[in-house]
Amino acid sequence: MRSKLYKKHRASKYRFPTHTTKGSGNAKGQTVIGSKPALESIERKLGRPLKVAKTDHTRYEWVFCELREDT
């Protein structure tokens, strides 16, 4: 059933995984959460910034919920 309140945008966790970057020398690495690049990819596809009201995730995908304007 489709949500009447939210418009959902989804991105695969396999394409945008959470990973650790390695630092060189004395620099420490950092953890990159996969939801940030996933959100940037969705915004590039839409051509506008996404107004995220709620984020969620399933086992296989990141889910960004945007409030519907038509309700």
4-27 pLDDT tens trace: 899 999 999 999 999 888 888 787
- Distance CA(29)–CA(34), nearest Å, equals 16
Return d(Cα 71, Cα 61) in angstroms, integer: 26
With respect to residue 1, please indicate whether it lies within any of the assigned structural domains: no
Whether residue 51 is contained in a domain is answered as yes
Position 14 in a domain: yes
| Domain total in the chain | 1
Assigned domain for 13 exists: yes
Given phi > 0 = left and psi -120 to 50 = alpha, else beta, which region is 36?
A: alpha
Q: Confirm whether 48 is domain-assigned.
A: yes
Helix (H, G, I), strand (E, B) or coil at 10: strand
Range of 58's domain? 6-67
Domain for residue 54, yes or no?
yes
Return the pLDDT at 30. 87
Contact 56, 63 (CB under 8 A): yes
Amino acid 71: pLDDT: 52
Let me know if residue 33 belongs to a domain.
Answer: yes
3-state secondary structure of 43: helix
| pLDDT tens per residue across span 29-68 | 888 889 999 999 999 999 999 999 999 888 999 999 999 8
